[in-house]
Chain A
Amino acid sequence: MGAIRFIVKRLILMLPILLGITILTFFISNTIPGDPARLILGPKATPEGIERLREEMGLNDPIYVQYGKYMYGLVQGDFGKSTYSQQAVSEDLKRYFPATFELTLFSMFLTVLIGIPFGIISANKKDKIPDQITRFMALTGVAMPAFWLGIILLLFFYLKIGILPGGGRIDSWVSPPEAITGMYTIDSLLTGNWEALKSSLIHLILPGFTQAAVTIGMITRMTRSSMLEVLRSDYIRTAYAKGGSENRVLYGHALQNGMMPILTLMGMTFGHALGGSVLVESVFSWPGLGRYAVNAINYLDFPAVMGVTILIAVLFITVNLIIDILYHVIDPRLKYE
C-alpha cells in the first residue's frame, strides 16, 4: 500500500532529523557559560569537591566524547540522570510531560472548536458585523501576551468571582485518577472516576483558554482567508443550486476544501503551544514540562535539557506526519510520493 510505505519512509527520515537535533542541542547547551558541578554543590563548595564531581559527571572529557557517551546511552533508551532532580530523566519526563500534553491537547481542542467556526462565519459574512466582531477578537487574541491574559483571567474568575480554581491540575481534596496515560482527564474517563474528571476539567479551563487565545486568533484568520477563496468556487455555487442550506454548504463542502492551509497552521500551532506552555504553566502553577525545562536550563542540567528537546522534537515531527497523512485522507487528488 502507498500509505504504509509513505509512513515508513517518513519515519525513517525522522532519524537523521533527530540526530541533527541532538547534535545541535548538545553542543549549544555546552557553550552556555557556567559550571554545572559548581551549581550543584552550591556557594560553599571547595575547588577539590567541584573537581571531583566534574570528573564523576564526565565533564572533563572532550565534548565529542561526552556526546558519544550520551548517544550510546540514548540508543539504549537511557536519557541519563538529571543533575538537578537526581532522578532518571525518563522518570521526570514521564511525570511532567502528561500534564503539558494534556494542556496542549485541550488548548488545541478549543482552538479547533472555536477558531474554525469563527473563521467560517467571518468569511461567510465578509465585511458585515459578525465578520468585524470575529476579526477584532482574533486580533485581540493574537496580540495579547499570554501571561498577561492569564493573570487577568485569574484575577477575575478566581479572585473576584471565585468560580474557577487558581491553579494546579486537580483539587487537593480529590485524589488523582489511577495513572494510565498520566493525563488526569483521560485517566479519569478511562477509570470512570467522575469526581476526578470534573475537577481536572475545571482546572483545565483557565490555562487552556489562556494558551489557546493566540492560536484561536491565528486559526480564525487562516480559516477566514482560506474560506474566502473557497466560497468563490464554482462547486460552492453548484452546492447551493442543488438546494443545500448554508450550513450544509459551509460545513459539508467548503470547509473540507479550505482545510489544507488550516491543517498546516495547526501543525505549527501545536509546536507553538508546546513551546509556549512555559509562561502559562508558571501563571497557573501547572506542574508541567515547561517549568521543568526552565529549571533544567537554570541549573545547567544538560541531560534534562536534552531529554525535553528530544521529546518535543519527536512529538512535533509526529504531529506533522499525522497532518501529512490527513492531507491525503482529505484530498483524493494527492498521491503518496
Chain B
Amino acid sequence: MLLQVQNLQLSLKRAGKFISILDDVSFQVQKGETLGIVGESGCGKSMTALSIMRLLPDKAKLAGEVKVGSEVISKLSKKKLEKIRGNQISMIFQDPLTSLNPLHTVGKQIEEALILHTNLTKKERKDRVVELLKEVGLPRAEEMVKEYPHQLSGGMRQRIMIAIAMACRPQLLICDEPTTALDVTVQAQILELMNKLKQENDMGIIMITHDLGVVAEVCNRVMVMYAGKVVEEAEVNELFQRPRHPYTIGLLEAIPRVGERKRTLGSIPGTVPSPQNLPIGCRFADRCKDAMEICRQAQPKTLQLTDDHRVACWLYDERREDLKDDITRNQESKTTLSH
C-alpha cells in the first residue's frame, strides 16, 4: 500500500471559531493506481489533499494518520516533512497561471526541486531540467529554461508544474483539478501526459476533479465526498454503473447528455449545509429524495458492500434490510446512464 489515510479530522478557524471541515476521512492509494476524488465545491477535496501534505492554512487542527509506505508522515516534524514534500509526494494545483513564481525563470523553478532533494552538481541539474522539460512534451526546452512564466501559455505552464512535480520521481502525485483552467484540447493532452508518466514511473495519483469525463478517462477508483465526509467509494466502472448513495446518483444524473461538450458535475436541488451548521444526522438528508426518519437522527456508518465498493448511507444498513432490495431496484432503473 502506497498511501493510507485514516480518520482524518480537520478543523479550521473561521471568525474566531473552529469549524469542522473534514470528518473521518479514510482512504488508500496503491502503486500505479489513480484515485479520483469528486464532490461539489466546498466539500473538502482540496483540504483533504492539503492535509496529506500538511500545507494547511494557519490555525488548522488536524487529527488522524497519514502513512506513506510504512512511514507515518502525519507525526513527522516540519523539517522531516520538507524532505518528503516535492520528493516522495508532489502536488499540482488548479491554476497554472498563478501557481508559478512570476519572477523566477522556468529553469530556476524546476531546478529548485533538484537543489532541495538531490545531490546533483549544477551541471547535472541543468541537464536534468532540460530532460524534464522534454519529458513533459515541451518544445525548444533549451530556450524555455531561461523564460519566465508570463511568456508561456496556460497549457505550457501546467506542463512546467508537472515537470516540477516529477523532478524527483515522486511515489505519489496529488493533482488538485489540474485541467480545470485549461481548454478542452489542452486538457486531453495533459491527462494523456499524466497517464504516460504514471505508467512509466509506477506512481500513485490522487486526482481531484469536478469533471466526470476526467474520472472516466484516468481514474481506477473514485471517492465521492459530501460536506467533509466520504459518502461513497468504488471502482470506477462499478461507480458509474451501480452508484449506491443518493448523492452519487444525483451527481451522475446531473451529467448533461452525451455530445454536450461539458460533462461537469451538475447541480442537485438544495444547498450544502454550511460547516458551521451541520445537522446531527446524515449531512445529505435535507436534499435526499429517499431520506427516512433515521437519516435525520443519526449519522450513517460506512458499509463495505463488496470488496471494491463502500457507502455511508442508511438505505444499505442491515437495520433497513427489508427496504434494501426494492430501493436498489428502483435506483438501477433510474441509472440508465453509461459512460
Contacts and interface: CB of A to CB of B under 8 A. Distances in A.
Interface stretch (A111-119, A210-218, A328-336): A328-336
Interface stretch (B97-105, B129-137, B312-320): B97-105
A243 B85 contact: yes
B58 interface: yes
Interface stretch (A91-99, A143-151, A234-242, A265-273): A234-242
B55 A241 contact: yes
A238 B85 contact: no
A243 to B, nearest CB: 4
Nearest to A236: B101
A240 B148 contact: no
Interface range, B side: 20 to 34
B53 A241 contact: yes
Contacts of A256: 103
Nearest to A237: B55
Give the interface size class of chain A.
20 to 34
Nearest to B98: A234
A241 B85 CA distance: 6
A238 B58 contact: no
Interface in A212-237: 233-235, 237
B82 A244 contact: yes
A241 B101 contact: no
Given A234-B93, A333-B148, A243 B113 contact: yes
A240 B100 CA distance: 12
Contact of B113 (A242, A246, A257, A332): A242
Nearest to A239: B101
B100 A238 contact: yes
Interface in A54-76: none
A244 B115 CA distance: 10
Nearest to A246: B78
B55 A333 contact: no
B95 interface: yes
Interface in B136-169: 148, 150, 161, 164
Contacts of B112: 239, 242, 244
Contact of B101 (A126, A238, A246): A238
A243 B100 CA distance: 15
A234 B94 CA distance: 9
Nearest to B147: A332
A245 interface: yes
B300 to A, nearest CB: 34
Contact of B117 (A237, A243, A246, A333): A243
A291 interface: no
A253 interface: yes
Nearest to B164: A242
Contacts of A245: 79, 82
A237 B20 CA distance: 22
Interface in B274-312: none
Nearest to A231: B58
B21 interface: no
B276 to A, nearest CB: 21
B248 interface: no
A257 B98 CA distance: 13
Interface in B73-123: 78-79, 82-87, 90-91, 93, 95, 98-104, 112-113, 116-117
A240 B117 contact: no
Contact of B55 (A126, A233, A240, A253): A240
Contacts of B150: 332-333
Contact of B99 (A235, A330, A332): A235
Nearest to A233: B98
Nearest to B103: A256
Kindly name the residue among A235, A238, A242, A330 whose own CB sees the greatest number of chain B CB atoms within 10 A: A242
Contacts of B148: 332-333
Interface string A245-277: 110000001001100000000000000000000
A253 B90 CA distance: 19
Given A243-B113, A244-B112, A333-B150, A257 B102 contact: yes
Contacts of A235: 98-102
B99 A244 contact: no
A238 B164 contact: yes
B116 A244 contact: yes
B62 to A, nearest CB: 16
A17 B98 CA distance: 40
Contacts of B58: 126
Nearest to B161: A238
Contacts of B93: 234, 237-238, 241
B71 to A, nearest CB: 16
16 contacts: A233-B98, A235-B98, A238-B100, A239-B112, A240-B85, A241-B85, A241-B93, A242-B85, A243-B84, A243-B87, A243-B116, A245-B82, A246-B78, A332-B102, A332-B103, A332-B150
Shortest 3 CB-CB contacts between residues of A and residues of B:
A243-B86, A242-B86, A234-B98
Interface of B: 53, 55, 58, 78-79, 82-87, 90-91, 93, 95, 98-104, 112-113, 116-117, 148, 150, 161, 164
Given A238-B99, A243-B116, A244-B86, 17 more contacts: A234-B98, A234-B99, A235-B98, A235-B101, A237-B93, A238-B101, A239-B101, A240-B85, A241-B90, A242-B86, A243-B85, A245-B79, A245-B82, A246-B78, A257-B102, A331-B103, A332-B102
